[in-house]
Structure 1
Amino acid sequence: MNKILTITIALLAAASISGTAVAQTQPTPQSSMRKNLQNHDLHNTEREVFQSEVSLEAGASFPRHSHPGEEFIYVLKGTWVYQFDGQPPITVKAGETLFIPYGAVHSAKNVGGETGIELATHVIEKGKPLLTLANEEQK
């Protein structure tokens, strides 16, 4: 299946899914983009899986935020630095993975010279937004 057809099918599927995470608009900085790829209920009716492709322009960062569930990252392109509150930064390059625990406040920055792309898979609580921006008081 060619890439255009795959993307079209993914977008049509995302548009037809009534899951909360797909239906809600999420804040994203101008230098980043989130393309929803798929969203499915799990056997456990309190959770759903949400998968997206996230891109971040060279030198750009995504602000501190958290998710109502676990996040599994696979970097497809570029070099990303993730900063978790109270921890040293973690650098993840293309072909590497990162696990983000439930509710962990974190930010991401593309430290490479090209647009970075990651595959983000979230296992989140149903009925909650995919992400919540953190305020400075949460530091």
Structure 2
Amino acid sequence: MKLTHTIAATFLIAGSAFAFMALAQEKSALTRTDLVQNEISAPGLEVVQARVDFAPGAVSIKHSHPGEEVAYVLKGSIEYQLEGKPPVTLKTGESLFIPAGAAHVAKNVGDGEASELATYVVKTDLPLVVMEK
């Protein structure tokens, strides 16, 4: 009985370590660097600008924002899938408007790294990213 518990505990620890490493790799596959965050002249709104870097094959979670987003591809090829619309692939120098509340996913579909400059006009004091199901 003791041997069974020891084996089970070993598998549980190994499985937890594997899951943690996979999560750590997933988190490092996509990084966001906030550049600007400031209130604007329209009451209750702010502008946020961020650089988002995608490792090869990186995919964002399905998410939305409490305001509009303009995504400008700085490097590589990124596919955007907005809920209810066909996917669109943008290359370096191209941009896309994403309406407020539109659930979407972004994926690096190029051979190397990809980056976007994301500019948001969002409601103040709300989380910038809302995870969707």
* TM-score normalized with structure 2 length: 0.79
Structure 2: runs of 5 or more not aligned: 1-25
Structure 1: runs of 5 or more not aligned: 1-27
Amino acid at match of 2:84: G
CA distance in 2, matches of 1:101, 1:33: 22
Q: Please state how far the C-alpha of 1:59 moved relative to its aligned partner.
A: 0.8
Q: Percent identity?
A: 44
SS in 2 for 1:52: strand
Spell out, residue by residue over 1:67-89, the C-alpha distance to the aligned partner (whole angstroms, 9 max, x if none): 00000111000000001112110
CA distance in 1, matches of 2:60, 2:80: 10
Residue of 43, 46, 49 corresponding to 2:47: 49
Tell me how large the CA RMSD over aligned residues is: 1.1
Contact 1:53 1:117 in 2 (8 A): yes
CA distance in 1, matches of 2:95, 2:34: 19
Q: Please state how far the C-alpha of 1:30 moved relative to its aligned partner.
A: 2.9
Residue in structure 1 matched with residue 61 of structure 2 by the alignment:
63
Contact 1:48 1:126 in 2 (8 A): yes
SS in 1 for 2:125: coil
- The number of equivalent residue pairs is 108
Amino acid at match of 1:100: I
Residue in structure 2 matched with residue 115 of structure 1 by the alignment:
113
CA distance in 2, matches of 1:76, 1:132: 24
CA distance in 2, matches of 1:52, 1:85: 22
Which aligned pairs between 1:26-105 and structure 2 lie closer than 5 A?
29-105=27-103
